[in-house]
Structure 1
Amino acid sequence: MCTTEPVSRAEALAATGGRRVLGIAGPPGAGKSTLAARIAEALGPERAVVVPMDGFHLAQAVLERLGRADRKGAPDTFDAAGYVALLRRLRAPQRGSTVYAPAFDRSLEEPIAGSVPVAPDVPLVITEGNYLLHDAGEWARVRPLLDEAWYLDPAEDLRLERLIGRHVRHGKDPAYARDWVARSDEPNARLVALGRHRADLVLTTV
């Protein structure tokens, strides 16, 4: 992955003064978390921190109670309103007050509260996830809270290979992983793609 242009653009955003929020969107397997991590590493912890949208997955027990566990990853399997509330807090840091954001543990398939500390003097928050450019329900409130939004759109064969491989690494049988991708991830990917035009930057080589 070549990150020279994205890193330079993120550095410029971080240097504009105050707190800025960069959103990285794209379909499942596009490489969002990898790009976000590499940019944060390049800028260093004093200048950038990654806050994943996936920290707002509903807990597995809640999904089962709601009858949504078989399509985990769809828009209504997240606490979108909670994510919006966090973004608003992050946009207006309070002196001396660290915000603790949730993360998602793929080995447990569960969100973990209070996992990501965001100090008030960090100039750039990088948030990444599928639905940053989605325009339905509470998700429509996300895009106005992003100073800049990018959309990752790699070759489909590469994206699917990554996605299936990720599921296998986290314990799914290869056949089950392929079925899950076709049955759940790909309908979500088609929905995510509808927001592509709302991005400030589209990256096709990631």
Structure 2
Amino acid sequence: MQSYVDELTARARALAASGPRRVLGVAGPPGAGKSTLAEALVRALDGSAVLVPMDGFHLADSELARLRRADRKGAPDTFDAYGYAALLARLRAPREGETVYAPCFERELEQPVAGALPVPPDVPLVVTEGNYLLLDEEPWSTAVRPLLDEVWWVAVDDTLRVERLIARHVAFGKSPASARDWVLRSDEANARRVASGRERADLVVDLSRLV
């Protein structure tokens, strides 16, 4: 296990050291462990990387209600993909003395929070994670993917992934029955939609090797 962790960390460190600021994407279906991997990489790089998740670009619940998309929260069109791309473009071209503030997603609120994640100009690597980094659909394929130097796909057993998702929804307030219904109806629809992205990844990370 440790040798695999070291291998992934070394690859991320080499990317961080390869010139101008780089952006590493971590993609995969809901519940795959993208956040776990991204956070572990940033910790291992110890000041040479910062994490900026895609989830900060969730549309607010009020806007989802206006658009009649609240029952599909988490689908590709419930994110501000162009806003996310604009932030990635800004992060790729840091300016001396300028800290960029990125949004985060607060799970206790189930809402995005602006200006929560500082990205200092001297950090050489930005790690970003999200479901749709390898989605072969507009605007993700044309506005987002070209701004990522590498994208890694997180692979995990689907049964484990689904149970993990249900447990997450329960932890944040859904009943077990509602959580299961949401996961099987919404999250799994999104998982099927992004599945082909694995073939376009620069690296497939098998999380079972990290257990």
User: Shorter-chain TM-score: what band?
Assistant: over 0.9
The residue type paired with residue 168 of structure 1 is: V
The residue type paired with residue 66 of structure 1 is: L
Is residue 173 of structure 2 the alignment partner of residue 171 of structure 1?
A: yes
SS in 2 for 1:67: coil
Matches within 5 A, 1:103-182: 103-140=104-141, 141-182=143-184
Match of 1:55 in 2: 56
* TM-superposed deviation, 1:151: 0.4
* TM-superposed deviation, 1:190: 0.5
The residue type paired with residue 13 of structure 1 is: L
**Farther-moved stretch of structure 1 (74-83 vs 135-144):** 135-144
Q: Gapped runs of 5+ residues in structure 1?
A: none
Deviations 1:26-83 (A, max 9, x none): 0000000111111111111x31000000000000010011100001000000000000
CA distance in 2, matches of 1:158, 1:3: 21
The residue type paired with residue 167 of structure 2 is: G
SS in 1 for 2:109: coil
SS in 1 for 2:139: helix
* TM-superposed deviation, 1:115: 0.6
The residue type paired with residue 183 of structure 1 is: R
CA distance in 2, matches of 1:173, 1:64: 22
Is residue 33 of structure 2 the alignment partner of residue 31 of structure 1?
A: yes
* TM-superposed deviation, 1:137: 1.6
* TM-superposed deviation, 1:205: 2.6
Match of 2:20 in 1: 18
- 8 Å contact kept, 1:51–1:127: yes
CA-based RMSD: 1.1
* TM-superposed deviation, 1:18: 2.0
Match of 1:84 in 2: 85
**Which aligned runs of 4 or more in structure 1 are off by greater than 2 angstroms?**
1-5
CA distance in 2, matches of 1:47, 1:130: 24
The residue type paired with residue 100 of structure 1 is: Y
**Farther-moved stretch of structure 1 (1-10 vs 168-177):** 1-10
The residue type paired with residue 171 of structure 1 is: G
The residue type paired with residue 154 of structure 1 is: V
Aligned residues: 205
User: So what's the TM-score if we normalise by structure 2?
Assistant: 0.94
* TM-superposed deviation, 1:5: 2.2
CA distance in 2, matches of 1:26, 1:4: 21
* TM-superposed deviation, 1:17: 2.3
Match of 1:205 in 2: 207
SS in 2 for 1:195: helix
CA distance in 2, matches of 1:13, 1:67: 41
CA distance in 2, matches of 1:88, 1:179: 37
